[in-house]
Amino acid sequence: MRDSYMSYAMSVIMSRALPDLRDGLKPVHRRILYAMSELNLSPEGSHRKCAKVVGEVLGKFHPHGDQSVYDALVRMAQPFSLRAPLVDGHGNFGSNDPDPPAAMRYTECKLQRLARDSLLTDVALDTVDFTDNFDASEREPMVLPARLPMLLLNGASGIAATNIPPHNLGELVDALQALISDRDVSDAELLRRLPGPDFPTGGIIMGNAGARDMYTTGRGSVVLRSTTSIEALPAARGQGSRQAIIVTELPYGTAKNPLLEKVAALVNAKTLVGISDIRDESSLAGTRVVFELRRDADPLVVLNQLFKKTELQKNFPANWMAVEGPGKMPARLTLRSALSSFLDFRVECVRRRTAHLLAKAEARLHLVDGLLLATQQIDAVIEAIRGAPSVGDARELLTSSRFGLSPEQAEAILSLQLRRLTALEQSKLDDERADLRAEVARLSTLLSERSNVEAAISAELEELREAHATPRRSAIEVEYEELSDLDLTPNEGCVIVQSARGFVKRMPLDEFEAQGRGTRGKAGMANLGDGDAVLRIFSCATHDTVLFISERGIAYALEAFRVPVASRTARGVLLQSLLPIAADESIAQLLPVSEFSENESLVLLTRHGWIKRTPLLAFERITARGLIAASLGEGDCLTHAAVCTEADTVIIASRLGQALRFNTDAKQLRASGRASRGVKSMRLRDGDEIADMDVVRVGDRPADAIVRGGEAGGERGGEMLLAVTRGGYGKRVRVDAFQPKGRGGQGMISIKFKNRDDRLVGLSQAREEDQLLLITKKGVTVRQAVAAISEQGRAATGVQLQRLDADDYVASAAIVPPVEQDDAA
């Protein structure tokens, strides 16, 4: 049973499912085209009912279901299915929506010019073998004498794992011409002439790696993307302008209506965000699908999500399986083997055609020679024929030695009409003999060398290119990278919070609306557990790279969007689940970096006051195990980090309220390698320690700059410093109140404490339009405008920023950019 079933399965695949490399057709398609040719449905003629063609195919060649035959006929007429349709359909042959075709009794068809010129022209010239049909009542060709590699031109797919994409006719001719000129032409040259598939529905082929694999190994995956654009929509009354993604070409094989249904389902399930409306504006002029976006949506991010989650981008998995000829098993092809095998088949067809035409020309020349010989002695011929008692006797007399004619020549003379004996007819016979002799010589020369045959094939290819080539429809985007999670994430502001026990989470920046000064705030990180507390908080953009610098001086890197989002009251996740750090290793600083610039450096500060400056580019490519950022002395650990340039100054503040500002140029703080220890920064009094460090740039900075550096997230442009204490007090102090001094001093007073046990939490640069985000040990947060905080001198105690419980204190402060009203909504 197993052997019988396998034999039957192989027979079905060979006779129905696999295309033939030589003409690129499956048996059903070959039989349809041959039947249409026999019905004389030429391109110049009129259309005939498809039911007539289906009946002809079923009755003579293909004893299977009529619907399967009609489906195959319909596909050969669909311009969105074949790159070069072979059937000219009249009526409803379906659409890419997908709409089904009308019944065969309603539709009509005839052959396309390409089908006649490239497949059927030579079928009657003994170019291919014929075989009996299923009941031996008819003869059908085993293969059509194709002049073009239809297997590559229109591609093939089916149940036998074959999946070959369509190609451009002109590029196929170029590749064949290169192979004709040099059978050892390099793969690189073939790929230059045939750079990739050309799909009938257009689209964009992303990269050439998939096509290269497909052409060299027979297998590969071609990434095909829709053709899209981003357009601005007219603004509605009382509303801002919106944008829309316009789709004008879909990937090959993608049905439009199911695609739109899937997009709508993803939008309703909130898996795909940013789309407010979907419209299908397609017409006979072409495809046009509109995805209208919300005002706060990033068009590129939404487009990337569409590419990632829908069939607006899909892979075409190629598998070049075909039968290379009669009696051969299915084989996997490469571009070179497919073109070479087709060229060998074409050489055989041209030789057989030439031999057939040569035999006909020689036979006719033989008859013309006999007719001319007879006209030279016409009186004797006529007299002999008249004197013969029968036709047979006359034939024997003409073939005797007296006249020396062959039986074929004698038969032609006996069939000769008297009008052919005129002088004019004799002159025509002389001209015909001269033409026939030239034709015989030409055909004989053509058969003498393979190069002559290939020259004839080359000329035919050029004729087909001139008559049927069309411009490429699918563009090729050479520079292509796979969509990453970064491409699917909008670049928007966020807040990252870290607890003392190593929990971290990300929250949207508009989660904390601005509140008045002195309020109690709201929970920002509840459920911390016994002994845990909020350690630091900073704002950044989701596309920023966050440097995690451990107390041991090891730097790790992670994109900000990879930090899991959590609610204000959630605890977050452990850093050990995001980074390869040991359980006893603590992260001293989280530093967001939007760009690794060669003009910027990373400033690192230790608990014992050692400071160093290392080029930021040294941390651009951090391995999974991290990189050494600083060498530490015994008992020391790294506590702060920030980004600076040589034109900046750094200000260091201690817990007891002292602050020292000095330059970061080569004189005060020269750049050093990652493994260096650094130099002394600030001389601390007994019982004092480093509280904060910030890089100060005097002057305005771009409004969309991201906060970075220090526990408070770093600096923004402006000329004010914001001091915050553990007791919830704060003030603004002018930057010029702290003149740059030499490195290594004690600094000057930055704030006086209202309570003796109060300590400084942060001293950071802030602009009036910025906002301050405070978070306490218990996780209570408050967000307020910086402009609402009083400006005071260095020795002032400040104003109350947040009311605290008796057992609570401010753990961290961050300067965050203002949130636009639309974003907050």
3-state secondary structure of 720: strand
Question: Which H, E and C letters describe 248-303, residue by residue?
Answer: EECCCCCCHHHHHHHHHHHHHCCCCCCEEEEEECCECCECCEEEEECCCCCHHHHH
Evaluate whether 637 touches 607 at the Cβ level (below 8 Å): yes
Q: What is the dihedral of CA 194, 198, 204, 209, to 10 degrees?
A: -40
> Which pair of structure tokens corresponds to residue 125?
């010239």
Cα–Cα distance list, 722 to 472, 735, 789, 814 (Å): 62, 9, 9, 10
Query: Residues with Cβ < 8 Å from 230, sequence gap 6 or more?
Result: 243, 244, 245, 246, 299, 300, 303
Assess whether 480 carries a catalytic annotation.
no
H/E/C letters for each residue in 453-505? HHHHHHHHHHHHHHHHCCCCCCEEECCCCCCCCCCCCCCCEEEEEEECCCEEE
CA 104 to CA 108: how far, in whole Å? Answer: 8
Rounded CA separation 120/143 (Å): 10
**Strand duo 242-249 + 729-734: pairing:** unpaired
139 phi and psi, to 5 degrees?
-115, 140
Give the whole-angstrom CA distance, residue 352 versus residue 254.
Answer: 43
DSSP string covering 604-626, please?
Answer: EEETTSEEEEEEGGGGSS--TT-
Q: What is the largest CA-CA distance in the chain?
A: 152
The CA distance from 709 to 616, in Å, is: 13
Measured between alpha carbons, how far is 685 from 687 in angstroms, rounded to an integer?
6
- Return d(Cα 78, Cα 88) in angstroms, integer: 9
Q: Which of 5, 34, 106, 215 is labelled catalytic?
A: 106
Q: Give the single-character DSSP code of 415.
A: T
Q: Which residues of 185-212 are buried (b: 16+ CB within 10 A; e: fewer)?
A: beeeebbebbbbbbbbbbbbbbbbebbb
Report the 10 Å Cβ neighbour count for 244: 19
State how far the alpha carbon of 353 is from the alpha carbons of 349, 735, 789, in Å: 6, 94, 96
By annotation, the residues acting in catalysis are 106
